[in-house]
Structure 1
Amino acid sequence: MDATYLRLLFVVTDLIAPLVVGYILKERHLITQRTNDRLIKLNIWIINTLLSLLSFWVLPLSWSLLLLPLFGFYLVLFPGAVGYALFARRLKDYLDRGAYVASAMLANLGTLGGVCAFILYNETGFAYTQLIGAFQNMLLCLVVFPYSRFCQMKAAGRTSEHHSRLKDLRDMFLTPNQLCLVGMIAGFMLNACGIERPAELGPVFQSLVHIGAWSAMLPVGFLLSFGAARKNLGRIKSLTFLRFLLMPIVTYFIVKALVADPILRHTIIILSCCPTAINAVLSSRLYKLNVDLAATSFLVTTGAYLVVIFPVLFFLMK
């Protein structure tokens, strides 16, 4: 069998399986919400930090890759700005607004996008997704988490009349949720100083990728509620439009003009179609936003991507 088809198994083992396990654990009351919250923090504080450190340590530093940060920022900031301007600001509840913006900004680039690019373009496609996704992780720390915290404070009625502006800024930016940024900086510094990453850490990194997928997906499966999803379907129609129509159309014309490498061009198009990220659900849980709205966006867009969008891309771009 073609190795490309064999690699389709990673979609099942690293995405669908932990999601199903998390949902079963919730339905059978085998773990508590407190345990699930601890797993979320383990993923964000420890696993993501280590992955950031190890990946940035071997990040290829060349002038030809200068476009990748720009696309990493674009794939987060453009849908976030459009989603906020056209849809999110109409939501009066800040808990809804924060969850919507997080769902618009964060696409599943590293996990689902990486696996899908790997299926089509092997290590080259996977490497491109990780490089682009690394800058989404940076914006997760610098933009999404602080904005989620801001919405949480607004929903709680906190104002500068009763709280220090400095303290509010500290609460938004200086939290353990920003540890992955420390990992990125540390890895980049080791890389820039010419310190080679020990070969023994290669297998460790590969194992952490799978561990990270499970520690991210399983809590999301625990948080899924199909009843709540039905109630929020109307709110996330605009997100499906944003993810699967507007983003790929705009991105196609941008990469056609700027990117010569066909694998990189196709990889960016794949990433532009990616569904709502796991981290949108996790950040909503961390900051007590509308988790059901983010989980519904994740569930619906991921299902559509796996069943319709990626199969179409697979046969168009293979």
Structure 2
Amino acid sequence: ATLLALLSFWVMPLSLHLLWLPLFSALFMLVPGVIAALTFARRHRDPLSRGAYYMSAMLTNIGTIAGLSAFILYDETGFAYVQIVSSFQVGLLVLVCFPLAAMFHEQGTATKHHHRLTVRELFLTPNQVPVLGLIAGLALNVLGVERPAVFGAAFQSLVHIGAWSALFPVGCLVDFSRARPYIKATADLIPLRFLLTPLIFFGLCRLLFDDPVLIGSVLLIAAAPTAINAVLTARLYKLNVDLTVASFLVTTVLYLLIFYPLFFLYVHRGGTF
């Protein structure tokens, strides 16, 4: 993750036209998190389940599913838009979601461990190391240091390694029998993921952009299903892993079988944004 952050930020286009996308990267995480906080998350009284629910709502599969979806519809331009947003997700994951997950873990185990986390324990841990890659890559970019071509090939390899290293533990964690009871508990993520969040970002896009490819790519990101990282974060901080697995399965299946096919047909039949 550290190397991917360094290499991607090193060559990220920094034109004024794209400066909105880093802000959107944060909003893609914060908007569903705020909606969840005001509505659906309240019914999860156990802090470990509530924390897992927040991870399921906030962490979405931008880099893989949304990226491939945009590539199929809009070729490299759409894929590039998604990757710009995805690049900032590494930093947001470790700066926002990891501390939030640690806080819910602390609340959920308070009866067993009477220890209050300090700021240093929340933000200065080995889990935050990818931020160093983000900062280093951005610095090289701003300084105008050209990235050697060999690193481009290395980046492609690291993407595959990163995907396998993420998918392997998720495969080990997916237990259908344990996740099945939580499917109903994640049902309210369906309108959150596929209706409320896309509608909010559609309104923002109409105010800011006139490029239908950019707007379509943003909508694909806004509706992306729960990410593998939600499962990994729940596992890392000992939250309710089964709830995140249920959310991962339900939202991914609905995205692939219903949302994306309808979106695809709309665009290919001349629909525009």
Per the alignment, do residues 125 and 187 of structure 1 end up closer, same or farther by CA in structure 2, a change over 3 Å counting? same
2:195 paired with 1:242: no
Which of 124, 127, 130 aligns to 1:180? It is 130
Letter paired with 2:126: P
Task: Please say which of residues 83-92 and 231-240 is displaced more in the overlay.
Answer: 83-92
1:128 alignment counterpart: 81
Aligned residue for 1:226? 176
Per the TM alignment, residue 126 of structure 1 is displaced from its structure 2 partner at its CA by 1.1
Determine the C-alpha separation between the residues in 1 that align with 2:32 and 2:267: 24
Residue pair 1:149, 1:171 contacting (<8 A) in 2 also: no
Matched to 1:103, the amino acid is S
Matched pairs, number? 268
Partner residue in 1 for 2:237: 287
Q: In the TM superposition, what are the counterparts of 1:78-89 in structure 2 within 5 Å?
A: 78-89=31-42
State the 4+ residue runs in structure 1 displaced beyond 4 angstroms: none
Structure 1: state its 5+ residue gaps: 1-47
User: Partner amino acid for 2:97?
Assistant: V
For structure 2, which runs of at least 5 residues remain unmatched after alignment? 269-273
The answer for the alignment partner of 1:73 in structure 2 is 26
TM-score after normalising by structure 1: 0.81
Output one character per residue of 1:175-215: Cα deviation in whole Å (capped at 9) or x when no partner: 11111111100100111111111011111111111221121
- 2:110 pairs, out of 154, 157, 165, with 157
C-alpha separation between the residues in 1 aligned to 2:129 and 2:41?
28
- Two-structure CA RMSD over aligned residues (Å): 1.6
Q: Matched residues in 1 for 2:109 and 2:119: separation?
A: 16
Letter of the 2:174 counterpart:
L
C-alpha spacing 1:159/1:73, structure 2 compared with 1 (3 Å)? farther
Could you tell me which amino acid in structure 1 is paired with residue 212 of structure 2? P
Q: Distance in 2 between matches of 1:317 and 1:172?
A: 44
TM-score (normalizing by structure 2): 0.94
Answer whether contact 1:243 1:273 (CA < 8 A) is retained: yes
Where does 1:85-100 land on structure 2 (aligned, <5 Å)?
Answer: 85-100=38-53
Q: Which residue of 1 aligns with 2:271?
A: none
> Which residue among 5, 9, 12 is the counterpart of 1:59?
12
> Quick one: which amino acid aligns to residue 76 of structure 2?
E
- Deviation string for 1:231-276 (max 9, x for gaps)? 0012101111100111122222221222111111110011111000
1:142-153 pair list within 5 angstroms: 142-153=95-106
What is the identity, as a one-letter code, of the residue corresponding to 1:308?
Answer: I
User: Per-residue deviation at 1:137?
Assistant: 2.1
- Name the CA distance, whole Å, in 2 between partners of 1:85 and 1:285: 25
- Conserved 8 A contact 1:95-1:151: yes
